[in-house]
């Protein structure tokens, strides 16, 4: 069991609590979107969400699989698949060299980072093992469910609830400043979401 399984198990447990579907998260989460964001096949995402394990894959094979996944699942603006020549140009290398990567699965970090940035992929997209990649992709899902489950959690974490508890000892000017600060935070949060 890789080290990434432990944090993933914790996230899956908490998601199970929040959704009421422990062991059946694939019924309530967007498996296709998680696959798209991680480069992990849908069947493997489903297995991991159910608490199972992903097949063991070496680094070179994982990089090759994720490169092929991009080619199959990321489209040009006209909806067509990227050619090997286009991917090579994006990576800053030749088509022949890209073909060699697909065989060996070991491109240079510079070239792989160019592909990653071009497609807006998370750091570690090509190298993270499946549990680690899914763990990272589930973080925003977990945060969103946590906020829905306890809308005041963000206020407690920021200290505003504790500060508001001091309101009886505050004068009118201090209360107005506190209200302005809360409004600024709410407005900034709305702009982010």
φ, ψ at 74 (rounded to 5°): -105, 130
Over the stretch 66-106, which tens digit does the pLDDT of each residue have?
988 998 999 999 999 999 899 999 999 888 888 887 777 67
Model confidence over 36-67: pLDDT tens digits? 999 999 999 999 999 999 999 888 889 889 98
pTM of the full predicted structure? 0.72
Task: Tell which residue, 133, 113, 135, 98, has the closest CA to residue 15.
Answer: 135
H-helix segments, the chain: 5-19, 31-38, 42-49, 59-73, 84-91, 95-104, 109-118, 130-149, 153-158, 160-164, 172-192
Mean pLDDT calculated for residue range 145-150? 81
Is residue 167 pLDDT above 90, yes or no? no
Give the range among 29-33, 44-48, 179-183 with minimum mean pLDDT.
179-183
Model pLDDT, residue 105 = 62
| pLDDT value of residue 132 | 94
Q: Give residue 154's pLDDT band: very low, low, confident or very high (50, 70, 90).
A: low
Task: Report pLDDT for 60.
Answer: 86
The pLDDT score that the predictor gives to residue 1 is 42
What is the reported pLDDT for 78? 95
Residues near 41 by beta carbon (within 8 Å), at least 6 away in sequence: 35, 69
* The pLDDT of residue 3 is above 60: no
Q: Residue 159 has what pLDDT? A: 66
Average pLDDT, the chain: 85
Distances (CA, A) of 87 to 64, 94, 105, 114: 13, 9, 15, 10
């Amino acid at each position: 069991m890789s080290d990434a399984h432990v944090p993933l198990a914790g996230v899956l447990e908490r998601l199970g609590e929040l959704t009421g579907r422990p062991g059946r998260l694939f019924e309530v989460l967007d498996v296709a979107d998680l696959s798209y964001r991680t480069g992990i096949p849908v069947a493997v995402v489903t297995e991991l969400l159910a608490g199972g394990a992903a097949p063991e894959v070496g680094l070179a094979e994982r990089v090759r699989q994720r490169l092929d996944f991009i080619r199959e699942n990321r489209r040009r603006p006209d909806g067509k698949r990227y050619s090997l020549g286009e991917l090579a140009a994006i990576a800053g290398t030749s088509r022949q060299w890209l073909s060699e990567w697909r065989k060996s699965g070991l491109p240079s970090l510079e070239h792989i980072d160019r592909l990653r940035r071009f497609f807006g992929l998370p750091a570690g997209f090509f190298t993270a093992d499946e549990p680690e990649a899914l763990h990272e992709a589930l973080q925003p899902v977990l945060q969103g469910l946590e906020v829905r489950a306890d809308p005041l959690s963000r206020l407690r974490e920021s200290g505003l609830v504790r500060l508001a508890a001091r309101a009886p000892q505050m004068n009118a000017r201090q209360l107005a400043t506190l209200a302005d600060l809360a409004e600024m935070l709410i407005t900034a949060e709305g702009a982010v979401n």
